[in-house]
Chains A and B, each alone.
Chain A
């Protein structure tokens, strides 16, 4: 049943979404691919939309996927499910279990979790970049060149501008390049 799938799928995401805005993306990708709700391409569109609209990316993705799979009720269920674990954890911490986080066993678990998440995010970014430059087992030259330009803009302009390009700026530049190239 779709409502139950949405609820369980996004509860799982909410429980393990450590590591900031992008920490949840590999998890959401796991869930949407395994249920067949979105493919990599549609997911990338939605990440871009989430970056360009207000609110945390994880919540935006949950709302979108819930709504596209099962309408308003789906959107409400998925959004609630993705937020619920962190809501409960903070309530527990503020009311009683604040010392839990200082516990050395909990610390040991977090020491393993954090670098693992970084590795997963890195692999997801690399795989998504590489797979969108390849179509039908061939290198898509246009996509590869645009990727190269975007990478240069993202990481090459930093010493010149002394400031980081914001995600929204990069998305806008990418949109313009897309219109020019295709």
Chain B
């Protein structure tokens, strides 16, 4: 009985902690790392600082937002599969509720003239924010020839796809880049082996 009580307590704590994180982090992404570090490492000691670093690195190589990756990882470590589900739900529920409520009113909201004008300005800011995200990633990119070539050619290809409205998805572009990189690696390895 005591064991299941403790388990229930851990699950409740996971849910509440990640709901709090989910509610107070705006914009997502790297803004969340500091908050996650504070709650999961410093305050609760759920994972070590090194593990947090590992999760960050893994998050960069796996799909999905880092906050969700981190919640899944910490939840799994604390209470297995159920823990992973509870922690992940915890981080999603706040934004789900906020956005769901907004989605019911946004259209009416946009019919107010002042709001519509404000959103005309906001639309222009979004393009700038996306560009800024790309510039930051370019700055952190490995300064080698291969990634640069891939970056520039996928940039040109994507721009052409957009401008000419080609029916070619960005996922196909990513698969091509991955295939080329893998092929080059295999060829390179073959050459090394023969030597």
Contacts and interface: CB of A to CB of B under 8 A. Distances in A.
Contact of A48 (B95, B116, B119, B150): B119
A32 interface: no
B103 to A, nearest CB: 4
Contacts of A59: 28, 65, 68, 92, 95-96
Interface in A167-182: 167-168, 170-171, 173-179, 181-182
Nearest to A148: B124
Contacts, number: 356
A129 B131 CA distance: 9
A116 B177 contact: yes
Contacts of A124: 130, 158, 162
Interface string A1-39: 000000000001011111111100111001000100000
Interface residues of A, number: 98
Contact of A45 (B81, B95, B122): B122
A137 interface: no
A18 to B, nearest CB: 5
Contacts of A86: 62-65, 68-69, 72
A91 interface: yes
A55 B64 contact: no
Contacts of B32: 56
A22 to B, nearest CB: 4
A128 to B, nearest CB: 4
Contact of B64 (A17, A123, A176, A181): A17
B37 to A, nearest CB: 17
Interface string A31-70: 0001000000100110111111111111110011001100
Pick from A64, A110, A121, A151 the residue with the most CB of B within 10 Å: A121
A66 B28 CA distance: 20
Contact of A83 (B92, B98, B133, B179): B92
Contact of A115 (B84, B157, B177): B177
Interface string A110-133: 111111111111111111111011
Interface stretch (B9-17, B38-46, B163-171): B163-171
A30 B167 CA distance: 10
A152 B174 CA distance: 32
Contact of A116 (B24, B64, B132, B173): B173
A141 interface: no
A108 B177 CA distance: 10
A121 B26 contact: no
Contacts of A173: 125
27 contacts: A17-B63, A17-B64, A18-B61, A22-B134, A50-B99, A59-B92, A59-B96, A60-B95, A67-B99, A67-B103, A83-B64, A86-B63, A86-B64, A91-B72, A109-B181, A111-B185, A115-B148, A115-B151, A116-B176, A122-B155, A123-B155, A125-B130, A127-B163, A128-B127, A155-B132, A170-B128, A181-B117
Interface of B: 22-30, 32, 58, 60-69, 72-73, 76-77, 81, 84, 88, 91-92, 94-96, 98-100, 102-104, 106, 110, 114, 116-134, 137-138, 141, 146-148, 150-159, 162-163, 167, 169-171, 173-174, 176-182, 184-186
The 4 closest A-B pairs by CB, nearest first: A178-B121, A55-B95, A86-B64, A112-B181
